[in-house]
Structure 1
Amino acid sequence: MKVVIIGGGAAGLTTASTIRKYNKDIEIYVITKEKDIAYSPCAIPYVIEGKIKSFDDIIMHTPKYYKEKKNINILTETEAVDIDSKEQKVKCVKDGEEIILDYDYLVLATGSTPFIPPIDGVNLEGVFTVKNIEDGRKILEYMKKCKRVAVIGAGAIGLEMAYAFKKRGLDVLVVEMAPQILPRFLDPDMAEIVQKYLEDEGIKFILSKPLEKIIGKERVEGICVDKVVYDVDMVILSTGVRPNIELAKKAGVNIGKYAIKVNEKMQTSINNIYAVGDCVEVIDFITKEKTLSPFGSTAVRQGKVAGLNIVGREAKFTPVLNSAVSKIGKLEIAGTGLTAFSANLKRIPVVVGKIKALSRARYYPGGKDLYIKLIFGDNRKILGGQIVGYERVSERIDLISLAIRNGLTVEDLYLGEYCYCPATKMVNEPISLAAEDALTKF
């Protein structure tokens, strides 16, 4: 049996490794346009900042490793250009030469492409996106001759890049068309905590206004926002991504509301074609609506499910909460499930619990501020959570995610059993305190 996987990111490589773990005989080919594989794009801002010394340090494995250790064939700098699903063949191009690969199973892990706003100046020298390691290398080289940078988009990657540039000595301006930063997983009151931290670090913000155009003759010289021109030498477009679905259309698989339509086994409408990662649409755990989940954690989970089903083991991909975490400077930010704002848009009545606590016992050295916000439905069940603090954030957001999936109530979280040690946490777990605050409002 032969499996061809188009895409060498987290979703594609996880699928390949999962297949190999449970079956030593299947022939596996992975096709990728990139030169480098097995790295996390999420690490790019930390290399730019200097926390990680080199882009080479974030490359975990090479094609040679996959061939020698796992017997997985990786075709780098190779583009899949067409799929004949009836003949079960993929047409690829490498160095101008055509390659035809037949398959028994095909996995589409084609990922996503940065969204480029349709404005003047996006093609000027000095305009970058942050999608792959090659983008990172170009940015790191170009910034050496820059003093001022504008980051367009205040999502997690945009803010991580903004902080990285500031630490490298550049003046940084962040432009966000929404009225707050991190609109995807924080409510405005929680986002204000993060914004103040970054402003104290010297980063400037323009909110509620879109980028109108990028100014320059051959290279970036400035940007225009609300008819005001700001002098900058470089622009980072962190304006979201769009799923790559063109190959899927050529294969004849069904496209859903946003991206490739798959079932819980990660199968497309054609039984021997699977799809994983940014190129597929998923179901929201709470609202049951179709959505996107462009996260590495989702890609890995989907790759495991697809791989297990291809080798004949039953596995199902469950709906998402889109749990997310970011570390910007010393600050950790995380969210899962619904925000109060998104619940209000969907006309879901909620009760909110919110507290400011410490990460350790008050008398133990090193304790840091911890802000927790919990969102409960009127049935008393937990629907979402947001945490901003300086330590122990990601573990708590994972706990909240599990609580949502298991239908825990405000009483469950308030009276739950939590461990305690002065050096690691308060005797009253902050999640319990936030739940208590909500409980008083029911």
Structure 2
Amino acid sequence: MKVIIVGCTHAGTITATQILQNHPETEVTIYERNDNVSFLSCGIAVYLSGDVGDPDAMFYSSPAQLAEMGATVNMQHNVTDIDPKTKTVTVTDLVTVETKTDHYDKLVDTTGSWPVIPPIEGVDGPHVYLCKNYHHAKELFNVAKDAQRIVVIGGGYIGVELVEAYTRQNKDVTLIDGSPRMLHKYFDHEYTDRIQKEFTDHGAHFAFGQRVTGFENHEDGVTVKTDKGSYDADIAVLCVGFRPNTDLLKGKVEMHENGAIVTNEYMQSSDPDIYAAGDSTSVHYNPTGKDAYIPLATNAIRQGTIVGTNLFGNTMRDMGTQSSSGLNLYGTTMVSSGLTLENAKEAGFDAAAVTIEDNYRPEFMPTTTPVLMTLVWDKKTRQILGGQFMSKHDVSQSANIISLCVQDKHTIDYLAFVDMLFQPHFDRPFNYVNILGQAAVKKQAELSK
């Protein structure tokens, strides 16, 4: 069997690896228009901040490694057409500009995503940058050395991490976002209010509730124009989200409205010989039971593994996702999984939430640290829908506990008393996550009166 993989970042790399480890007799051909594979773009901020000195360490595979496993690796090759009827792809070598046609038995679309670039004046100017891949990271690292005034557009994870990285280098940084606060999709007000104070304490400026209307590029910088003002900077970085890179299959397989490829639970598209994984497709979002576009490396790697298995027969089902994610900002851990209360209500749930703060371990220990935590649940079924945690202590694994609870449809009653270890060095006789579950049970009882 011949498998053609189009695109080779996370999902493509893992798909190829999975195939060649378990079915080494398979003819695997990879077409990638960049000159690298497997770059962990989530590490760009730690590189720009100086915490990681070598961006080359953020690769976990290489064209040479994939070739050694048996793949035919074609870097800097751009697939310009896919014909499902003839099972062929048209490819252009970006170095020699030669074009050829190749045939497949099965095709895997792992073409990923690309930053959303609003069609506004000056967005393609010389002082406006994107933040997505290895070359963007290197470019931003170099230009930021001489930049003192930086404007970041977009208050999601990437934008916020960039602001933190640049303020730690004593840059004059302004964050612009159309929402009234940063990270509003992932965290409640109490969380974002606290972390925004840390940002302002480190010199960051906010321009919330503002829509960028244009960029006026100058010889030595750029003026970012919004519907409420303008901001002068040496460089501006656009971080307003991602869109699926799926134009090659438009009109050829079923897609969501945003262009993400629709797949079944085996990651198979509406064409049985075309599979998709990673940012080019949607995921099943377990908290709502519906498909959603959630471009995360964790989803891509899981889906790539599933595709690499199911090309030889649909046996491995996608479990879906809770969109669990986290940040470390100025030494503060912020993690979430599933729905916030606001998102749960928007999704149609009769939901409730409780927020408490408690120390992660006993007060008789030499030190302890408070944890701010929130649990969201369905009042009718008592099932957990999501949670958030924030602390100077590393509480990142708490999001994984909530993720498991949502995945397996556990209730607040389960979380309140499920067995967890106790040792004063690590936690209380009831782990703080148990205590959060108990607070939810208590509040549910009050709401039921």
Deviations 1:246-285 (A, max 9, x none): 11126x1122333111111111111111011111123321
* Match runs of 1:267-278 below 5 Å: 267-278=268-279
Equivalent residue in structure 1 for 2:425, among 408, 413, 423: 423
Residue 140 of structure 1, CA deviation: 0.8
Residue 154 of structure 1, CA deviation: 0.8
Distance 1:75 1:369 in 2: 52
Matched, 1:98 2:104: no
Distance 1:19 1:189 in 2: 46
* Match runs of 1:263-412 below 5 Å: 263-312=264-313, 314-378=315-379, 379-412=381-414
Give the match for residue 88 of structure 2.
89
Q: What is the RMSD computed on CA atoms of the aligned residues?
A: 1.6
- Whether the 8 Å CA contact 2:222–2:236 is kept in 1: the answer is no
- Whether the 8 Å CA contact 2:286–2:406 is kept in 1: the answer is no
Residue type at the aligned position of 1:77: Q
Moved more, 217-226 or 303-312: 217-226
Give the match for residue 244 of structure 1.
245
Distance 2:289 2:348 in 1: 14
Distance 1:33 1:60 in 2: 18
Residue 218 of structure 1, CA deviation: 4.5
- Whether the 8 Å CA contact 2:30–2:71 is kept in 1: the answer is yes
Residue 214 of structure 1, CA deviation: 1.9
3-state SS of 1:82 partner? strand
Residue type at the aligned position of 1:316: R
Moved more, 263-272 or 193-202: 193-202
Give the match for residue 447 of structure 2.
none
Residue 124 of structure 1, CA deviation: 1.6
| Structure 1 gaps, min length 5 | none
Moved more, 31-40 or 215-224: 215-224
Q: How many residues align?
A: 440
- Whether the 8 Å CA contact 2:3–2:27 is kept in 1: the answer is yes
Distance 2:219 2:100 in 1: 38
Matched, 1:175 2:176: yes
Distance 2:348 2:190 in 1: 20
Change in CA separation of 1:347 and 1:255 when aligned onto 2, cut-off 3 Å: closer
3-state SS of 1:326 partner? strand
- Whether the 8 Å CA contact 2:344–2:385 is kept in 1: the answer is no
Distance 1:66 1:37 in 2: 10
* Match runs of 1:123-138 below 5 Å: 123-138=124-139
Residue 188 of structure 1, CA deviation: 2.0
Residue 338 of structure 1, CA deviation: 1.1
Equivalent residue in structure 2 for 1:436, among 419, 429, 438: 438
Residue 308 of structure 1, CA deviation: 0.7
Distance 1:24 1:114 in 2: 35
Distance 2:361 2:376 in 1: 24
Moved more, 428-437 or 9-18: 428-437
Change in CA separation of 1:106 and 1:192 when aligned onto 2, cut-off 3 Å: same
- Whether the 8 Å CA contact 1:174–1:204 is kept in 2: the answer is yes
Give the match for residue 59 of structure 1.
59
- Whether the 8 Å CA contact 1:257–1:290 is kept in 2: the answer is no
- Whether the 8 Å CA contact 1:125–1:219 is kept in 2: the answer is no
Residue 82 of structure 1, CA deviation: 0.6
Residue 107 of structure 1, CA deviation: 0.1
3-state SS of 1:264 partner? coil
Residue type at the aligned position of 2:233: V
3-state SS of 1:441 partner? helix
Residue type at the aligned position of 1:170: K
Distance 1:256 1:155 in 2: 23
Residue 40 of structure 1, CA deviation: 0.5
- Whether the 8 Å CA contact 1:151–1:238 is kept in 2: the answer is yes
Distance 1:90 1:358 in 2: 58
Matched, 1:11 2:11: yes
Distance 1:19 1:84 in 2: 23
3-state SS of 2:207 partner? strand
Moved more, 200-209 or 272-281: 200-209
Give the match for residue 24 of structure 1.
24
- Whether the 8 Å CA contact 1:4–1:107 is kept in 2: the answer is yes
Residue type at the aligned position of 1:267: Q
Residue 241 of structure 1, CA deviation: 0.6
Distance 1:91 1:148 in 2: 44
| Structure 2 gaps, min length 5 | 445-449
Give the match for residue 73 of structure 2.
74
Give the match for residue 154 of structure 2.
153
Distance 2:335 2:197 in 1: 17
Residue type at the aligned position of 2:79: A
Deviations 1:196-255 (A, max 9, x none): 2222222121212222322233553322234422221111111001111111126x1122
Residue type at the aligned position of 1:322: S
Moved more, 364-373 or 160-169: 364-373
3-state SS of 2:361 partner? coil
Residue 293 of structure 1, CA deviation: 1.4
3-state SS of 2:424 partner? coil
Residue type at the aligned position of 1:16: A
* Match runs of 1:180-195 below 5 Å: 180-195=181-196
Change in CA separation of 1:231 and 1:217 when aligned onto 2, cut-off 3 Å: closer
Residue type at the aligned position of 2:218: K
3-state SS of 1:423 partner? coil
Distance 1:301 1:120 in 2: 39
Distance 2:74 2:370 in 1: 48
Moved more, 260-269 or 432-441: 432-441
Give the match for residue 163 of structure 1.
164
Residue type at the aligned position of 1:235: A
